[in-house]
Chain A
């Protein structure tokens, strides 16, 4: 479709996101470091590779979620100085659906109902689900296993974001902090965002497609544009 450079040159290629479906990914960080920015870039990368994405935003408005996409898409258009940006913007609009839930209104069963609605009526068949704002603190293992099963039956990839807190020092053997320290085995990809001295944000890739990784993979977030860059 003419967007190969966007896909090939994307620093996210070091992640094996292009591979199998049915993976579950997790982005963790303290609030304000750029989880949503990273999730949106993962979503856009999926769209550029011809996939369809549902972005579930819990406790956030449609406009706000959409403005994340608009902002990052603008950065991409500038970086690659694309000649026909409108075409790209239209393609993203067509292949992305934003689903926002008030915090109290979100449940696994409701999500399943909505996804089924879309697929059965042939309105939108997603390949990738982004879940921003999932409450890991009050979710038990069962709930997540449930979602994992749902992803498998629907043949979808899913990415979650989770907030960790400085004062909570619990950590799993693999290095995954609370509140996900007890369920880290459910995820095939785990990325930790860490602020560095020089104000950049390091992408500490703890697990990459099931493989344990040492010392990350040399990616960072540009603090001004929130774009993933190679170091």
Chain B
């Protein structure tokens, strides 16, 4: 078993849609000899690129789910986690960022830094992921890697420094000058597999010298030896410079910029070298887990293979052979036949087959090292679960999952679709905790909810394709919530006498706002005025009442219910009676507690040419947005705003027509806020008339 952690790289490849991520991955797999022919993403051979294993991705040319794949370059073992590009899949992106140690940020040499890159970059900064930038598509007309490097500095706030310069550009791209080795590199052969190094062409020497100076300046502070060598004006050994770049990259103070063209097979091998030289190995990164036995306090994982196992299941896939679970180990090892414990459920499982994945093909293995990424067969778990061995009870990710902000009603077209739909929903909810589903009892519709319009759209598509479940889709609905703003008392008697045994229960206490958390039940009953066995009935009753608020029918959150008095009847009191009493008590107290409606607020960033800034701000302002700020560079502007989700439906169309299609926007869930009065009145009115109709 290869388990030299220094030679392991867990990397992500992240990019704006259409900047060539999949093509690049494909080339990497080709050069590392994992595949023997190159298929284009939108190739004519109909095979499609190897990484996009899902039908839908092949068709749309985008990658939705993160498949992990393994390859080896020179003596390094590289696990590539293909991260989804769209922010709507936030939890997938975040989970992918969690398991990788470093990343390659791909940019299009023509399009430059686009809004998606900004969001992905922000997430990477949040998770402290060291990265290398790769400017792709340098063969395209209009390619300008220098401009893109400037944008990396300006728009992404990265200390981006070129470690290569191109030899020729656009159609004339021949190769690149490696500023570390100070050599020109060319790629020969039908698929660029033969690398030819030569002296730097005469006309590029001056530029290469000056760019190398910039590089040395940027990294010298990370290596005293390098600084010394520079002061002495001695020749700088290549290894010294590599070492300084590595240190600077790991500290997140520097982003080395490389360039090439995946499509034209130029520069990929050098990128792989850079991944090996500059990106971190698992032990370079500090990873923390939460100790569930100690109130989720943070603990460092050791990366030591001899310690007890800690592994994160970050991805599930339903394959031909059953459920495949991708895990990343942080410390300890997993071998065939080991017993591991799921720290969420406490369930013990025996490890059956272990495989290393390469998109759709797999390779059977006996065990893993620590810091490795592998897939397990036949493990029942949800994604995001942590596996430990015997004595540990750690979790890699917090149990907190953001609540969905948008929902859709779906209706199967026929009986067959009905069966397939429930299969699909069952699967998706396991894979993705932000995707939820339930049946609305009043309308008997199936409701799916998630983090954004696209998020739900993709699942509806997947239902159709993978499960052949055709569904009709309703209009998207914002997931409102209700909460209270004041303390209010209740004292309610539930009494029913309709022949046979009656029902009796009295519940008294108060409601109050709860700042952090959704619901809390406090039992202050003394002297058995409500018998112990009926306390949980009260709790149950309150929870039932919380399911639908009276203002708009939205669920009620952020509330603490305390009961401190009550009474019972020896014969007529029952579980049902006290549940009913609690529901009644809640309905009595709720209106007095000044309930309000809360709506999801999204963090929106609109990016486009400066000339449209006024129009963009106007459009955001009209939609009840609060503009947080603007960022202006020579000819483009980013406007950041907090927007109610309800106002964002159809915004992409508005924005397109306002800016002649030159601006784009991204959106991320931020928080829940109280709906302004006028809007709240409207919502309440609509709910009331809906109720009347039903």
Contact = CB atoms under 8 A, between A and B. Distances in A.
Contacts of A97: 627-630
A98 B634 CA distance: 18
Interface string B621-659: 100001111111110001010100000000000000000
Interface string A44-75: 00000000000000000110011000000000
Contacts of B632: 99-102, 105-106, 110, 114
Contacts of B225: none
A97 B639 CA distance: 11
A117 B634 contact: no
Interface residues of A, number: 23
A199 B518 CA distance: 46
A123 B629 contact: no
B626 A117 contact: no
Contacts of B614: 117, 121
Nearest to B671: A86
Contact of A123 (B618, B631, B633, B673): B618
A121 B617 contact: yes
A117 B157 contact: no
Contacts of B613: 114, 117
A118 interface: yes
B154 interface: yes
Contact of B629 (A94, A99, A105, A118): A99
A104 B485 CA distance: 48
A109 interface: no
Contacts of A98: 628-630
A173 to B, nearest CB: 38
Contacts of B154: 102
B617 A123 contact: yes
Contacts of A123: 617-618, 621, 627
A94 B617 contact: no
Contacts of A114: 613, 630, 632
Contacts of A117: 613-614, 617
Label chain B's interface by main secondary structure: strand
Interface in B594-636: 613-614, 617-618, 621, 626-634
Given A117-B614, A117-B617, A62 B629 contact: yes
A65 to B, nearest CB: 7
A186 to B, nearest CB: 25
Interface in B325-352: none
A134 interface: no
A93 B642 CA distance: 10
Given A93-B626, A117-B614, A121-B617, A104 B631 contact: no
A171 B154 CA distance: 35
Contacts of A118: 617
Contact of A61 (B618, B631, B634): B631
A159 to B, nearest CB: 18
Nearest to B642: A93
Contact of B628 (A62, A90, A106, A110): A62
Most buried by A among B157, B632, B642: B632
Contact of A94 (B618, B626, B634, B640): B626
A199 to B, nearest CB: 27
A70 to B, nearest CB: 12
Contacts of B628: 62, 66, 93, 97-98
A4 to B, nearest CB: 23
Contacts of B638: 62
A100 B638 CA distance: 10
Most buried by A among B613, B631, B642: B631
A136 interface: no
Contacts of A65: 629
A105 B630 contact: no
Contacts of B673: 90
A22 B627 CA distance: 25
Nearest to B614: A117
B618 A121 contact: yes
A124 interface: yes
Interface in B183-229: none
A97 B642 CA distance: 12
A110 B632 CA distance: 10
Contact of B634 (A66, A99, A104): A104
A93 B671 CA distance: 14
A116 to B, nearest CB: 9
Contacts of A93: 626, 628, 642
A210 B632 CA distance: 34
A105 B633 contact: yes
A126 to B, nearest CB: 12
Given A61-B157, A121-B614, A121-B617, A66 B627 contact: no
Contacts of B627: 97, 123-124
Contacts of B621: 121, 123
B631 A62 contact: yes
Nearest to B636: A105
A118 B615 CA distance: 10
Nearest to A65: B629
Contacts of A61: 157, 631
Contacts of A124: 627
B633 A102 contact: yes
Contacts of B634: 102, 104-105
Most buried by B among A66, A98, A105: A105
Interface in A160-190: none
A98 B638 CA distance: 12
Nearest to A121: B618
B511 to A, nearest CB: 18
A83 to B, nearest CB: 11
A99 B157 CA distance: 16
17 contacts: A62-B628, A62-B629, A62-B638, A62-B640, A90-B673, A98-B629, A98-B630, A100-B629, A100-B631, A101-B631, A101-B632, A105-B634, A117-B613, A117-B614, A121-B617, A123-B618, A123-B627
Given A65-B629, A97-B630, 20 more contacts: A62-B628, A62-B640, A93-B626, A93-B642, A97-B627, A98-B630, A99-B629, A99-B630, A100-B631, A101-B631, A101-B632, A102-B631, A104-B634, A105-B633, A105-B634, A114-B613, A114-B630, A121-B614, A121-B618, A123-B627
Q: Across chains A and B, which 4 residue pairs bring their CB atoms closest together, nearest first?
A: A98-B629, A117-B614, A62-B629, A123-B621
